[in-house]
Amino acid sequence: MNYTTYHRQLNTLLDSLSGQKPPRLVLIWGSSALFINEALSALKAAWLAREDRQYLCLEPSDWAEEVKFGQLVGQGGLFEAAPLYHLRHGERVDKWWQYFTRLPREGEQLFCLTIFRDKLAPASKTLQEKPLTLQVSCFPPQMNELSPYLGQLLKRAGLKLSREASHLLLTSTGDDESKLANEVTKLGNIFAANAAEISADSLAPYLGLIRDNHVFQLTKHLLAGNYSKAQLLCQELLLRRESAISLVGLLTRHTRLFLYTEEAKHRHWDLSQQARLFKLPLGVLRDYAQSRHRPAESTLRRSLQACQQADMALKSTQALSPELILTQLLETIAGR
């Protein structure tokens, strides 16, 4: 239970700062940069909320030598503010645990080490077991934790979503906790906090970003010439309330990429030159250049014009149904 563990450990850490025996070393580590930064911000705020406290951030170059490390984190003067030493990027320092064998046992310092890594070094278990060491493990929520995580995000933002709207939001973001947090932040700027419950119909227009795996599937069908499968996928995405304009944008990009490779062929540019000139990934250009289902250049130009017309039609107040517009556009792209 990744998110449950993270939430529990973070609360334990924050509670300990106001207790009789606060920790001496805090390990904040894992593969979720979002949760690492969130935990660090909470720790920093709790520490600085007390009087005579300060925050000092050290890069790996600042503590890569044991002597220098000892000088940096040595006992301060009697009237100096108690520091929170944040030691960043522990994953970049070999045998970092050796530095902590010389931590001061007394005093008001607190040491926080952030490590962006799936696994800690074996020797870290010794530090984890010390009475005055606390850790916060930061890993993405598991699938069954996404709903509780979304609930926490909505509570912070002062938003209420219907059950259908919550399902729609989770479908649009997948298991990416950063994307989910960004979407909730965006919705907080659109909808008034503490307002009425937001329905799926009210939410749908603001979720126009198509998930990466859907983009990959649609592109795969188009490159393989499977236009019937591409049409079925577009219909499915529309039923999930994906933006028809976003789908037209994806089809426009597909057509332009074929036209880019056509121009490159006429000018005898290799793939490296194309990637540099068009500012596109080499692998993407290779897929289009080597496709066995490349339409004729005349078909591509008609398709590009049809994409522009479809975009205008969808934005018109008297637009046809999005399903019909996309069906007609795909038929043009297929050269029918």
State how far the Cα of 210 lies from the Cα of 194, in Å rounded to an integer: 28
Indicate if the pLDDT at residue 205 is higher than 80.
no
- Class of CATH domain 2-140: alpha beta
Whether pTM exceeds 0.85: no
**Confidence grade of residue 191 (pLDDT, cut at 50, 70, 90):** confident
Indicate if the pLDDT at residue 105 is higher than 80.
no
pLDDT of residue 139: 92
State how far the Cα of 86 lies from the Cα of 53, in Å rounded to an integer: 13
pLDDT, averaged across the chain = 82
- Class of CATH domain 144-206: mainly alpha
Counting Cα atoms < 13 Å in the Cβ hemisphere of 140 gives 12
pLDDT of residue 103: 67
Indicate if the pLDDT at residue 203 is higher than 90.
no
Q: Which residues contact 27 (CB under 8 A, 6 or more apart)?
A: 113, 115, 120, 124, 127, 128, 133, 134, 135, 136
Task: Find, among 169, 162, 171, the residue nearest to 199 by Cα.
Answer: 162
Convert the pLDDT of each residue in 256-311 to its tens digit.
888 888 888 888 888 887 777 777 777 888 888 888 888 888 888 999 899 988 88
Determine whether domain 212-333 maps to CATH 1.20.272.10.
yes
Domain extent listing, the chain: 2-140, 144-206, 212-333
The single-letter code of the amino acid at 308 is Q
Task: Find, among 43, 24, 32, the residue nearest to 5 by Cα.
Answer: 32
Provide the 3-class DSSP secondary structure of residue 26: strand
Span 200-221, mean pLDDT? Answer: 73
pLDDT of residue 78: 47
Question: In what order do the strands lie in the sheet containing 133-138?
Answer: 53-58, 82-87, 110-116, 25-30, 133-138
The single-letter code of the amino acid at 97 is W
Q: Which residue has the higher pLDDT, 95 or 253?
A: 253
